[in-house]
Amino acid sequence: MEIKFLLNKKPVSLEAEPSMPLIDLLRSLGMKSVKCGCENTVCGLCTVLLDEVPVLSCSVPAARADGHSVMTLEGLKAEAEEFVGFIADQGADQCGFCNPGYVMNTIALLRENPDPTDEEIREYLAGNLCRCSGYEGQVRGIRNYLNAKKEGRL
Amino acid sequence: MKFRNFIQPRTIAEAYELAQKPDTVILGGMMWMRMQKRTVENAVDLSLLGLDKIEETGEGIRIGAYVSLRQLETSPLLLEYTEGAIKTALCPIVGVQFRNGATLGGSIWGRFGFSDVETVFTALGADVVLAGKGQVPMVEFIKNGAPKDLLTHIILPKKAPDAFAVNAHRNSATDFPVITTAVCRRGDNVRVTVSPAPARGYTEDFSATDMPEIAGNIMKNLKFLASASASLEYKEHLARVLIGRGVKAVGGQ
Ligand SMILES: Cc1cc2nc3c(=O)[nH]c(=O)nc-3n(C[C@H](O)[C@H](O)[C@H](O)COP(=O)(O)OP(=O)(O)OC[C@H]3O[C@@H](n4cnc5c(N)ncnc54)[C@H](O)[C@@H]3O)c2cc1C
Ligand code: FES
Ligand code: FES
């Protein structure tokens, strides 16, 4: 079927199988930040924003993107740059494979709740698995970023 | 799962008619179905049917089958109705992105023995609305299913519970629950629902005067199956403890 959607705010139109996973469609369009980290819908690495809502692109059929807006990390670099350094400073990224999913979901968290508690950060990011770290670095990094913002250091 | 045609009906009647066709599936969030290795001809998408709303009606609270689990856990109406228990029950399901995809309809339709969603709504005394069969108590639906039908809504009774508690156990965070229990008290009625995966969910109604005996009595009727996640003995132990906690939370002892 013909699928027309906004990819990172730019109109895209292409022929695709309706049940093709959105992740495959996005990667075929060069969006290589969107990665597959599991086969059972649990790792969060494939997170994209569909009409501003964070979803797992491995489970969304391409047909469901038709007429909608999809944002990937490629289109959100400026927003991500504000906080990724704080997470890197904590040494939270080891192999770094989980990072794009984390960043996408952190963007969604901070848009929905600009001043989350540590508990709220943990709860929102629970569906982003990282096999290297113990998750504490990511929480500390986001906390430091929020503190820096509050104290006018940004 | 693959499908050849993606169909978006505009009315419930049209969707129901499509559901009767051979080689046709109804799509919920596809979180479960996507893992199936098969190809079907027609996939029916429910997103244009207005089934994504949570509304107060004269009858109670009417929730569309296409509402996501995340909508359920963040709905002020449902948070008030359950005194926050809906959030406690659904938040441990995988993650926010997953719950933005998974739907109420897909979660109930599956009649999964591990379902936190099914446990919550059965204990709350919900009815399911089926396009073909009409409105039936959820307990009946869980027992019998409704092949080829279409689930359109879940209806919660107008009267909110006097007290409601959900207790589950997971071997690790974001994993499937080993067991989920919910206890709901309305006046003299205390309803206990248990999802003892992989066996189907079980519900029993008690009188509030019998509260001290509930945990012991329900154990006589509950059937467990050992699974990779827990032995039979461990499941029985968990059930007794979690139901006991639930009964205590709704005013027992
Ligand atoms: C990895 C993983 C972990 C999970 N962990 C948990 C957990 O911890 N706790 C928990 O409670 N649940 C858990 N679930 C189940 C999950 O919450 C959903 O219940 C499940 O994904 C089904 O919802 P869905 O919207 O994705 O339905 P789908 O996968 O789209 O559909 C499921 C079935 O329902 C049918 N269907 C869907 N909607 C309708 C309708 N309106 N009318 C008729 N038929 C319909 C479909 O045809 C299909 O047969 C888990 C699922 C997965 C994949
Ligand atoms: S690839 Fe793991 S959740 Fe999508
Ligand atoms: S840093 Fe390796 S998976 Fe997260």
Domain with CATH 3.30.465.10 in chain B: 54-157
Average pLDDT value for residue range A116-133: 96
- For ligand 3, say whether the CB of A131 is within 6 Å of any of its atoms: yes
B39-45 β-sheet, strand order: B2-7, B39-45, B24-27
At A41-92, the pLDDT tens digits run 999 999 999 999 999 999 999 999 999 999 999 999 999 999 999 999 988 8
What's the maximum distance between 2 C-alpha atoms anywhere in chain A?
A: 51
Chain B CB within 8 Å of residue A134 CB: no
Domains, chain A, ordered by start: 2-74 (3.10.20.30), 77-150 (1.10.150.120)
Flag whether residue A136 sits within 8 Å of chain B, measured between CB atoms: no
Measuring from each residue's beta carbon to the nearest atom of ligand 1, which residues come in under 6 Å? A 40-42; B 25-33, 46, 65, 93-94, 102-103, 105-107, 109-110, 115-117, 150-151, 176-177
Binned average pLDDT, 10 residues per bin, chain B of 253 residues: 97 98 96 92 98 96 98 98 97 98 97 94 98 97 96 98 97 94 97 89 94 92 88 94 96 78
Only one residue has tokens 């984390």, namely: A102
Q: Which ligand is nearest to the CA of B12?
A: 1
Closest chain A C-alpha to B35 CA, distance in angstroms:
7
Q: Which ligand is nearest to the CA of B100?
A: 1
Label residue A134 by pLDDT band (50, 70, 90): confident
| Residue B192 backbone dihedrals phi, psi, to 5 degrees | -120, 130
- What ipTM does this complex have? 0.97
Q: Is residue A37 lining ligand 2, measured as CB closer than 6 Å?
A: yes
Q: Which fold has domain B54-157?
A: 3.30.465
Neighbours of A13 (CB within 10 A): 9
B5 CB neighbours in chain A (<8 A) are 18
| Sequence ranges of chain B with CATH classification 3.30.390.50 | 163-249
Determine if ligand 2 sits within 6 Å of the CB of residue A21: no
Contact B3 A19 (CB under 8 A): yes
Q: Rounded mean pLDDT of A98-115?
A: 97
The superfamily CATH assigns to domain B163-249 is CO dehydrogenase flavoprotein, C-terminal domain (3.30.390.50)
Contact check, Cβ <8 Å, B94/A42: yes
The answer to whether B216 touches B247, Cβ cutoff 8 Å, is no
Q: What is Dmax (Cα atoms) for chain B?
A: 58
Cα–Cα distance measured from residue B66 to residue B53, given in angstroms and rounded to the nearest whole number = 8
Q: Whose CA is nearest to atom 15 of ligand 1?
A: B107
Distance from CA of A108 to the nearest CA of B (A): 10
Residue B91's DSSP bridge partners are none
